[in-house]
Amino acid sequence: MISLLFPALLSFGSGLLLVFSPAVRRLCDPFLPFFPWLVLICGLFLAWRFNRSRLAWTLLLLTAATIFLQFSGAEQQRALNLWLPLLLPLSLLIILLMPEKGFFTPTGMARPLLLILLGGAAALFQQLRPDLVSQMAGMHPAAWLHFDFLPLLPIVLTCGGSLLVSAIWCWRHPEPLETGLLTTQLLSLPALFHPSPLTAATWFGLAGLAPTLAIVEMSLQMAFRDDLTGLRGRRALNESLQRLGARYCVAMVDIDHFKKFNDRHGHDVGDQVLRMVAARLAGVGGGGRPFRYGGEEFAILFPGRGLDECLPELEELRREIEAARFTVRRRYLRPKKRPQHPKPAGNSSRQLKVTVSIGVAQRQRSMDPGMVIKEADKALYRAKKAGRNRVCR
């Protein structure tokens, strides 16, 4: 949850400080004109290195909006009062909804083409109905405060609809970049509806900061979190071991007969078993921290705990996994031989029993973390040799 909200909270917090703290604003005033360009450079570099075209096009859109607001004349400003609140939310929505496929792929190339078509449609409408455009462009969104916003209803619907669809999308796809792109839309609103171009440039910079920070957060997740199970990975385990005190326990958990699951039912079922076991490990008590160690093996750290405190928690964990029945749908059931006349998959299913073997060791004097893991591995081997589905110390 922290990784999901951190980019949004930092960007929003920075904006609130600039708005409500005159001291912070005076301190930052000399640097604010350069802030959007710094975000652009850093963000484009990250987008290039991580092959994230959505971030690149978001930053380029915000930069274009900043340039238009800062360097347009009075007549152009009137048109921008209409077109920016209409086109920018729609463009950001297109970027959010189109999947990330890199830059030079059909989807990656279709994204800028759609944005160009959207701008072309706006230019065509301005040519066909200049009278209506002139009437609507003459009203700045500040007119909403006087309750005279009926001609601005398209802008209200566009901004509100884009935010609603984006919020639903982020709720369905809880990822840091999705949340960052939603934050971009929210932070763009003060820029669109504020008369000061300099303040608009600052808001656009903050809007671009959110997805840029989201890319950094995603890179940290990729480095320290296992993609399949959602648990922290081996690198995170190694770092956590270096920060532990003198008293702790390490438990090694291995799924019994996991190779048979893969051979008999396929890797899809094997992945589901890993996720199910990982979900149980995530709820382990006693202050345990689960990690994906590799393959079908997991590790659990118990900082500040001894064996007498850890063993009841591990035994409870083992019983929970044993009691949980794993259901395999028919479409995942793999026959031993390919039938001559295969039948379509139905809705029938089969329940499988999943068990784990656990070995646990406590750090003793003069033992480094690697030695503690080796002792836990030896205990795990004893558990398997004794018949599996048990906890050994």
Q: Distance between CA atoms of 214 and 182, rounded to whole angstroms?
A: 11
Q: Looking at residue 345, what is its pLDDT?
A: 47
- Give residue 134's pLDDT band: very low, low, confident or very high (50, 70, 90): low
Same structural domain for residues 288 and 170? no
- Are both 218 and 255 inside the same structural domain? no
Torsion (CA) 42, 48, 49, 55 in degrees, nearest 10: 70
Residue pLDDT, tens place only, 159-197: 889 999 999 999 999 888 999 999 999 999 888 876 555
296 catalytic per annotation: yes
Range of the domain at 273: 234-338+346-392
The H-or-E segment that residue 297 falls in is strand 297-303
Tokens representing residue 134 in the block: 């002139």
In a domain, 229, yes or no: no
Of 75, 100, 175, 296, which residue is the catalytic one? 296
Asked whether residue 172 is assigned to any structural domain, the reply reads yes
- For the stretch 316-353, pLDDT in tens is 999 999 888 777 665 545 454 555 555 554 444 677 78
What is the token pair recorded at 27? 């301190």
What Rg value do the Cα atoms of the chain yield, rounded? 28
The whole-number pLDDT of residue 1 equals: 63
User: Could you give the residue ranges of the DSSP H alpha helices within 100-143?
Assistant: 106-128, 130-137
- For position 365, which CATH number holds? 3.30.70.270
- DSSP E strand boundaries for 198-259: 248-255
Number of Cβ within 10 Å of residue 209's Cβ equals 26
Same domain, 181 and 246: no
Q: Is residue 246 part of a domain?
A: yes
pLDDT, one tens digit per residue, over 28-76 is 888 888 999 999 999 999 999 999 999 999 999 999 988 887 777 666 6
CA count, 13 A, side-chain hemisphere, 144: 10
Query: What's the number of domains the chain is made of?
Result: 2
Which of 159, 190, 224 is a domain's end point? Answer: 224
**Reported pTM:** 0.73
> For residue 378, is pLDDT > 90?
yes
**Confidence at residue 16, expressed as pLDDT on a 0 to 100 scale:** 85
Strands 325-329 and 289-294: unpaired
* Residue where one domain finishes, among candidates 206, 224, 242: 224
Residue-wise DSSP of 45-100: HHHHHHT-HHHHHHHHHHHHHHHHHHH--HHHHHHHHHHHHHHHHHHHHHHHHS--
147 has pLDDT over 50: no
Nearest to 211 by CA among 52, 79, 370: 52
